[in-house]
Amino acid sequence: MTSTRIPPKELTGLYGAMAKLFASRTFGRVPKSLGVMWHHLPVLKASMGFGQKVQKWDQCDESLKSYAHMVVASLVGCSFCLDFNYFMAHNHGLDVAKAREIPRWRESAVFTSLEREVLEYAEAVSQTPPTVTDEMVASLRAQLGAAALIELTTVIGFANLTTRSNTALGIESEGFAASCGLKPMAQPSARLGEASAS
């Protein structure tokens, strides 16, 4: 990992001790990103709090939400979120063979037609301006239901918040996936890079 654009700060106090303990138990170490965000505790707490709430939602399939977050990270270029979500997919028993293929999902043969629609939708939501069509929404609503589609869309919005913040602050991958023996993620294809630029 290269240096972050804002140097990590030491985690101090009771909350710092709790954060270090939680991070060590969950990830095996304290991520540098936590030290970066430690400069503004209300922002850190709000982001973590909302992230914990997002994880409790259960109207949409967990795999679809995880893959959607990862495709946003791939589109934006957030290596931290890609690595972290790959690591979390492994820890939550999701299909890591699919998770590692996210950077080249258009060319990969491992995804179902519904998963492909979700990944395309996540990219469309994340464009500036968004390129979501009525047809995309109608198809996903028919397959998932309104509540699941709203949940999925909000997860994609939250993914944009975290991936874009991390990228702007220079927060990059810390090797979570490698530390638990997962294969490296697939490399994006030239076609995906072109799609991301358009």
- What length is written for the chain? 198
CATH of the domain at 103: 1.20.1290.10
From 100, 126, 122, 127, select the one nearest 111 (Cα to Cα).
100
In a domain, 131, yes or no: yes
Residue-wise pLDDT tens digits, 5-48:
999 999 999 999 999 999 999 888 899 999 999 999 999 999 99
Mean pLDDT of the chain, nearest integer:
92
CB 139 within 8 A of CB 117: yes
In a domain, 142, yes or no: yes
Provide the residue range defining the domain that includes 100.
Answer: 58-188
Task: List Cα–Cα distances, 48 to 51, 165, 189, in angstroms.
Answer: 5, 14, 33
- pLDDT for residue 196 is more than 80: no
Q: Identify the DSSP state of 72.
A: H
In a domain, 79, yes or no: yes
In a domain, 134, yes or no: yes
In a domain, 10, yes or no: no
Say how many domains are in the chain. 1
From 60, 56, 54, 57, select the one nearest 144 (Cα to Cα).
60
Let me know if 191 is exposed, middle or buried by CB neighbors in 10 A (0-12, 13-18, 19+).
exposed
Give the Cα separation of 126 and 117 in Å (integer): 14
In a domain, 145, yes or no: yes
pLDDT confidence band for 190 (50 / 70 / 90):
low
Record the pTM: 0.90
Whole-number pLDDT of residue 66: 96
In a domain, 13, yes or no: no
Average pLDDT over residues 103-121: 97
In a domain, 110, yes or no: yes
